[in-house]
Amino acid sequence: MPNDQTSTGFATMARNLVLTAAATTLLTLAASAETYAQSSQVLTEVPRTAEGKPDFTGLWQALGSAHWNIEPSAAKAGPDWKLGAWGAIPATLGVVEGGPLPYTPEGLAKKKANEADWLALDPLVKCYMPGVPRANMLPFPFQIIQGTDNVVMAYEFASAMRIVYMDQPDFDGPVPAWMGHSRGHWEGDTLVIRVTDFMPYTWFDHAGNHHSDQLEVIERYTPAGPNMIMYEAEIRDPETYTRPWKMSFPLYRRMEANAQLLEFKCVEFAEELIYGYLRKDAPADRVPPRGMPFTIQELE
């Protein structure tokens, strides 16, 4: 934990959330006791592996609107009036610790350009892998499968995934990757993951907060009761920021008796956006996509 104030804040928040979760659990239990009895999924203490470590295996999801903007922001209109209230951007308290993000002047200029044109430039809109920590923040669940030597994180969004190599600090990433290269170890009950070898293309949110290929993320997963993880990510990127900074938010266990990872293989939902202009019968409003990680040479 970064400092005492935050720790206390976390502890209080954790306690409240555990209480709320407990109350919700009881209510749900009463409502569908039969279903729960069948699934025996209600946990009263932190599950542990045979080796005594917290077992994070399960389905997790962040709540809130920080995936729109990791910094505090009031609600605002969406990119298309036709989408009405559904397409508007909700308010968020933000998840960044401390004040405004410590961008370098160039980093800030790029952030502003990204934000002004986010729908065209945000890699998530094209169904590209979200990167870290954005993947943990999306309004989609992700599944952790915790083995001894490796921990797998399988994300519903874009079927993105990560393999966390445990206790192999010297294992360098074989290739730069959209989801980075993750090496983990335990510090007490906290799973600490160092993520490096990133592609420079992913963003942190829809508001255009970004990084370079120098990005290094130090993640900390700490159990706060059986059904919640306090998640913290320290961002180090000297090319984009003048100092390291942190964001933190809780991850909640999906409590539904039938909760499971489904598919959101979104490529098919982004193809018209990316390739629509190349259809033989392309309508006039289909234009070449912008913000692509590669270019092709168009023949005249």
Partner 1 sequence: MIMHQKNNPQHRNKLRTLTAAMLSVAIAAVSAQALAQQGSYKVPRTPDGHPDLQGVWANNSSTPLERPEFFGDRAQLTAAEFEELMRQADQIRASGGDALFGDGFLGAVISGEVRSYDPATGNYDAAWMVDRNLENRTSLIVDPPNGRIPPLTEQGQARARERASGRHSPTDTYLGRPLQERCITWGMPYIMAGYNSYYQIVQSRTAVAIIQEMIHDVRVIPLEPKPPLDERIELWHGDARGWWEGDTLVVQSRNFSDKSPFRGAGANRTFTERYTRIADDVLEYEFTVEDPTTWERPWTAVINYTASEDPIFEYACHEGNYALMGILSGARAAERAGLVPDAPIDQE
Site residues for partner 1 per CB under 8 A: 35, 38-40, 49-51, 55, 57-58, 127-129, 143, 145-152, 154, 158-161, 163, 165, 174-179, 199, 201, 257-258, 260-263, 265, 267-268, 271, 274-275, 278-281, 293-296, 298-300
Q: How far is the CB of 127 from partner 1 (least distance, A)?
A: 6
- SS3 assignment, position 36: helix
Q: What's 201's DSSP letter?
A: -
| Closest CB 83 distance from partner 1, rounded Å | 25
Q: How far is the CB of 113 from partner 1 (least distance, A)?
A: 21
Nearer to partner 1, 87 or 269 (CB): 269
Strand duo 58-61 + 181-187: pairing: unpaired
Q: Using the CB atoms, write b or e for 201-225: b if 16+ within 10 Å.
A: bbbbbbbbbbbeeebbbbbbbbbbb
Q: How far is the CB of 44 from partner 1 (least distance, A)?
A: 16
**Closer residue to partner 1, CB minimum distance, 4 or 298:** 298
Nearer to partner 1, 59 or 62 (CB): 59
Nearest CA to 212 out of 69, 129, 111, 116 is that of 111
Nearer of residues 182 and 248 to partner 1, judged by Cβ: 182
Cα–Cα distance for residue pair 286/226, rounded to 1 Å: 49
**CB of 4 or CB of 149, closer to partner 1:** 149
CB of 147 to partner 1, least distance (A): 4
Min. distance of Cβ 282 from partner 1 in angstroms? 9
CA distances from 214 to 137, 198, 208, 243, 246 (A): 21, 7, 17, 13, 16
163 or 287: whose CB is closer to partner 1? 163
Least Cβ distance, residue 154 to partner 1 (angstroms): 4
Nearer to partner 1, 239 or 256 (CB): 256
Q: What is the dihedral sign for C-alpha 251, 211, 193, 129?
A: positive
Task: Determine phi and psi for 131, rounding to 5 degrees.
Answer: 80, -175
Q: How far apart are CA 219 and CA 251, in angstroms?
A: 13
DSSP 266-292: THHHHHHHHHGGGSTT--TT----SS-
